[in-house]
Structure 1
Amino acid sequence: MRVLVVFCAVLWCGLVQAAAPVYIGLDAEFGHKTSTSAQAVLQGMEIAVEEINKAGGVLGGRPLEIVVRDNRSITAVGIDNLRELAQVKDLVAVFGGKFSPIYIESLPVVHELGIPLMDPWGSADLITDHHHRPSYTFRLSIKDAWVGPAFVRFAKQQHRATRLGVLLPNTAWGRSNKAALEQAVASAGAQLVGHHWYNWGDPSLVQAYQQLRQAGAQAIILIANETEGAILVKEVAALAPTQRLPIISHWGVTGGNFAKMTGEALNQVDFSVVQSFSFIDNDSPSARRVVDAMGRRYGVASARAIQSPVGVAHAYDLTHLLAKAIDKAGSTDRARVRSALEALPSHKGLLRTYTRPFTATRHDALSRDVLFFSRYTADGELIPIR
């Protein structure tokens, strides 16, 4: 009898291992030469998938697998990748990377295909605040509508600055932030003394910076990724100390090796950046487990050495939520998974306990209270400002 039980157990394990996988897509900016964000999102997904599969997978024993595509930060490539991934049998959803414009331009295709688009990084409001019904976009990240007031509040509290200048990319992400900032200053006793648009690839930002400074700005709000952020920091560091204003940055700069790109110049500029999560001095069981996995899987020496930490953390939690939705749906049918995401029960995650991660009217799993600001050390560590 014991032999029969052991035989059945071995047979069951073999059937689980042989079960057809359930696929999750990831389309992100791996080909962007300075990116660490896409890699961080993949790491968070892979760690979550490993945990889920060790616990028995989904749908009664089917393993999760990740299918990766590189959009090279190009919207047209991202849309082509989305259409290609939608053809994969039993692929239930697609995760994206850090570039909000790709999400926004993909909205019509997402809803045409009826495939859940999962957002672990992009912050533009329109990613979830759109007219498509039912909505197939789900975000576990921050929103520009929350970041605008946080910028203004931080400028006043940390720098006693109420006259602010803004540098923005001429993209949907930049426009999202401009609208949020204009609304934030109107109710906070602050003022935008001016704004300047720039284009990706512009070789210099110092002229626009100087115009904002001469207009009376006491601090600069920077909406940028790592390339343009590094350009500005090096140019400001080269100015006379009296001309160096505090720079308060959106988190796009953390999606690359920003500290290495700026070098010693970063130590010459008062630079802070918005964040939603830190592994540093985080003693929760989930945080310890993920940090241990980062070391075991990717050779990351410590919590302080994790690059693009919000990408890891957000993708980790979002993957676990998606797995619960697949089980709740009882199927790989995408419409059923979408509906299940809106009806998930409480989940104790890495960032927080999600009482109701999503609802039919709210497709943002986080809230504005997750926001805080960090500074870089010379070694590239992002240290929360206490």
Structure 2
Amino acid sequence: MRSLVCVLLLSVLHIAAFPLSARSEDVKTLTLYHDSDYSNHYESAYAMKMGVLTALAEINNNVQDYQLTLIEKDNRGNANRSLLHMQQFLKDPNALVFIGGLHSPPYIKNREFINKNKLLLLLPWAAGGPITRYPSDDNWVFRLSVDDTKAGYRMAQFATQTLNCKNPLLLLEDTPWGKSNNNTMLKAFGDIKPQVKWFNWNTKINNAKLMLHQIKNTPAECILFVGNAIEGAVFINAMASFAKNERLPIVSHWGITGGDFFANVEQAIKSNLSLHFIQSCFSFLKTPQTALTKNVIAQSLSLKPTPVAPTELISPAGFIHAYDLTKLLLQGISQITLTDNTEHNRAKIKHALENLTMPVNGLIKQYQRPFAVWSANNIDAHEALGFDDLCMANYQPDGKIHIINNPIGNVE
């Protein structure tokens, strides 16, 4: 009798275990690599990550019986580390897409490698103009982000029309990103010929004060700044050290919002220093909220194991852009049949992104075929956002970002 019970028990355990084993073998995984500066600009990296995860959570992280997972890859702002991550991605049999940001230089410097190796790169944060404009229809980079070829025009418009600045000066980081902005801004100002000053990463407060003192002795009436959060905080605090009647207004690129910038300049902001910066034109703080906005907030607050409140993010644009871009990716995936061949999957997704058949409702706007096949006659083919999607913004005393409505009329 005891032997019979043991046999029956083993049979039951075998029957119960078999479907579990089968189900576990049926679960296939595809990975999304997120290459970002988690070390030095964690706030923007985290915001992008949570935007992606929120969009994936809406479909239970599953498409066509494939589980989608995100892998953090910390590039520390170094182009060579990004290249290493790209090489790892290409060797990973489960790798589906490579998501990048915040720095532009890794993707400008490695652009040839990216496209020659058919590495599908999605950018929710990286503004360098050349990144998406690889001169070929075999272009593998798609961006939903601020684009320097347009950002410079919005910043120039704000400086001249809103601030009535007749003599602008460009203060730019000496990197490919800074040089990209220099080219655009010189065109944007037209007949106005701004002076240009360059600075390096890791500029310290005394050098920043010296540079600003030299700038004050020029005819400059405002400064257009292109740099990231670390150097941005140094220059803002340096400007705040001057008497109020000696300060110049600063119009900044959005790179300053990518780290713990506000925490380092809070007192400077509260001293009525004039600082405005570019953003995309959506805000979670805008009221009344749309149904989509409410749903996205609810979804992000229910994320496991780590919920997030988008309204409290230090770098909200990272979340907003990553969410919208992931929604476009998922629409592209819905138009193909995934297989276990990731190279084929990436090629089919690229084609689908260039031929999206359905409108996609995003936070910034509804996207109607945002991408197309790249050509010299359509250099914005891989840009999801246009000039009208870019606004200026400023910080409120509590650190929240306030979006400013655009002026009516064209850029002069």
Structure 1 length as normaliser, TM-score?
0.90
For 2:138 and 2:269, how far apart are their aligned partners in 1? 45
Asked if 1 retains the 8 angstrom alpha-carbon contact of 2:102 and 2:125, the reply is: yes
For 1:50 and 1:17, how far apart are their aligned partners in 2? 22
Task: Write the mapping of 1:283-298 to structure 2, written as runs, cut at 5 A.
Answer: 283-297=289-303, 298=306
Match of 2:366 among 353, 357, 371: 353
Q: Per-residue deviation at 1:378?
A: 2.5
Q: Per-residue deviation at 1:285?
A: 2.0
Instruction: Return the letter of the residue paired with 2:257.
Output: T
Q: Per-residue deviation at 1:262?
A: 1.3
Q: Could you give the per-residue CA deviations for residues 66-91 of structure 1, whole angstroms, max 9, x where no partner exists?
A: 12211111110110011101211132
Relative distance call for 1:302 and 1:180 in structure 2 (3 A) is: closer
Q: Which residue of 2 aligns with 1:5?
A: none
Instruction: Return the letter of the residue paired with 1:63.
Output: Q
Q: Per-residue deviation at 1:210?
A: 2.8
Q: Which residue of 1 aligns with 2:350?
A: 338
Asked if 2 retains the 8 angstrom alpha-carbon contact of 1:195 and 1:212, the reply is: no
Instruction: Return the letter of the residue paired with 2:86.
Output: L
4+ residue runs of structure 1 moved beyond 6 angstroms?
A: none
Task: Write the mapping of 1:197-212 to structure 2, written as runs, cut at 5 A.
Answer: 197-203=198-204, 204-212=207-215
- The structure with more radius of gyration: 2
**Root-mean-square deviation over aligned CA pairs:** 2.0
Task: Write the mapping of 1:80-95 to structure 2, written as runs, cut at 5 A.
Answer: 80-95=84-99
Q: Which residue of 1 aligns with 2:233?
A: 230
Q: Per-residue deviation at 1:17?
A: 9.7
- 2:83 maps to 1:79: yes
Q: Which residue of 2 aligns with 1:369?
A: 388
Instruction: Return the letter of the residue paired with 1:377.
Output: Q
Q: Which residue of 1 aligns with 2:140?
A: 136
Relative distance call for 1:383 and 1:335 in structure 2 (3 A) is: same
Q: Classify the secondary structure of the residue corresponding to 2:399.
A: coil
For 2:81 and 2:292, how far apart are their aligned partners in 1? 35
Relative distance call for 1:302 and 1:30 in structure 2 (3 A) is: closer
Match of 2:117 among 113, 119, 138: 113
Q: Which residue of 1 aligns with 2:283?
A: 278
Asked if 2 retains the 8 angstrom alpha-carbon contact of 1:17 and 1:63, the reply is: no
Instruction: Return the letter of the residue paired with 1:376.
Output: Y
For 1:287 and 1:98, how far apart are their aligned partners in 2? 24
Between Structure 1 and Structure 2, how many residues are aligned? 367
Instruction: Return the letter of the residue paired with 1:199.
Output: N
Asked if 1 retains the 8 angstrom alpha-carbon contact of 2:310 and 2:316, the reply is: no
Q: Classify the secondary structure of the residue corresponding to 1:53.
A: coil
Unaligned runs of 5+ in 2: 1-18, 375-380, 406-412
Q: Which residue of 2 aligns with 1:382?
A: 401
Match of 2:268 among 260, 265, 268: 265
Q: Could you give the per-residue CA deviations for residues 338-373 of structure 1, whole angstroms, max 9, x where no partner exists?
A: 111111122111211111121002001111101111
For 1:93 and 1:266, how far apart are their aligned partners in 2? 39
Q: Per-residue deviation at 1:302?
A: 6.4
Q: Classify the secondary structure of the residue corresponding to 1:324.
A: helix
For 2:308 and 2:166, how far apart are their aligned partners in 1? 40
Which moves more between the two structures, 143-152 or 292-301? 292-301
Q: Per-residue deviation at 1:260?
A: 0.5
Q: Which residue of 2 aligns with 1:214?
A: 217
Q: Which residue of 2 aligns with 1:29?
A: 37
Q: Per-residue deviation at 1:31?
A: 1.6
Asked if 2 retains the 8 angstrom alpha-carbon contact of 1:259 and 1:379, the reply is: no
Q: Per-residue deviation at 1:299?
A: 5.3
Structure 2 length as normaliser, TM-score?
0.84
Q: Per-residue deviation at 1:326?
A: 2.1
Q: Per-residue deviation at 1:291?
A: 2.3
For 1:382 and 1:256, how far apart are their aligned partners in 2? 14
Q: Per-residue deviation at 1:301?
A: 5.3
For 1:216 and 1:260, how far apart are their aligned partners in 2? 32
For 1:301 and 1:22, how far apart are their aligned partners in 2? 27
Instruction: Return the letter of the residue paired with 2:60.
Output: N
What is the aligned-residue identity percentage? Answer: 30
For 1:286 and 1:16, how far apart are their aligned partners in 2? 34
Instruction: Return the letter of the residue paired with 2:396.
Output: T
Instruction: Return the letter of the residue paired with 1:152.
Output: A
Q: Classify the secondary structure of the residue corresponding to 2:203.
A: coil
